[in-house]
Amino acid sequence: MRQHVNPLSNHFEDIQPIPKLSNIFDDPLKPLHLDVGCASGDFLFELAFQNKSWNYLGIEIREKLVQKANNKLENSNFGNLFFAFGNAHNLINECFERFPKDILYSISFYFPDPWFKKKHHKRRVLQPEFINTISKIMPPGGLLLIKSDVRELFESMDQITSDSLMFKRLNPIEKKEIFLGFNPSNLKTEREKYVLSLKKFIYEETFQRLAS
């Protein structure tokens, strides 16, 4: 069951800024992976534990899930993991100028809220203006990954990313040649495990940042 939270609510205009990377990571110059809609962070905890050569930043709009992730983080010894609460658009717009140029090597939009009603499509996380913002802190060759078990949502995310002209869709041969540095063991999110357990189809695509 998905818990929907309206990202356009005035509640999210009061931003809790993401600190400078040097204040949240032991080594802020490691390549950064951003997971938008990280839930309680189980996927990122696994990634950060297995792959110490990367930093991981999770953004989640459901405050209780971020609190749960941060409580777990406080009782651990991770120097490459951070969780932020809020509307991803607002958070990235507020902080991207503080991020080192070309630090965001990959970003994942895995199973975001579908917002089925047409009048609610503006609430979907992947929007043209957000693609434009994140492209400014991604180096050429950086990866953008989308996954969903909702075909219409997937097709919308796929179209928005393609239309941006800042990313290219990788063909099957290119995908085989791409090493997903942020996820070398091909770990799966809890949502993906659940969908697979139901034997449902997962739509997914990988895009690569083009040179400006």
Burial of 18 from C-beta contacts in 10 A (0-12 / 13-18 / 19+): buried
Report in angstroms the alpha-carbon separations of 210 from 115, 125, 141, 169.
Answer: 29, 22, 6, 10
Residues paired with 169 in a beta bridge = 207
Q: At what angle do helices 151-163 and 128-135 cross, to 10 degrees?
A: 50
Q: How far apart are CA 87 and CA 19, in angstroms?
A: 15
Catalytic residues: 113
Each of the 212 residues of the chain gets a pLDDT tens digit; together they read 456 777 666 776 777 889 999 999 999 999 999 999 999 999 999 999 999 999 999 999 989 999 999 999 998 999 999 999 999 999 998 887 788 888 999 999 999 999 899 999 999 999 999 999 999 889 999 999 999 999 999 999 999 999 999 999 999 888 888 878 999 999 999 999 999 999 999 999 999 999 97
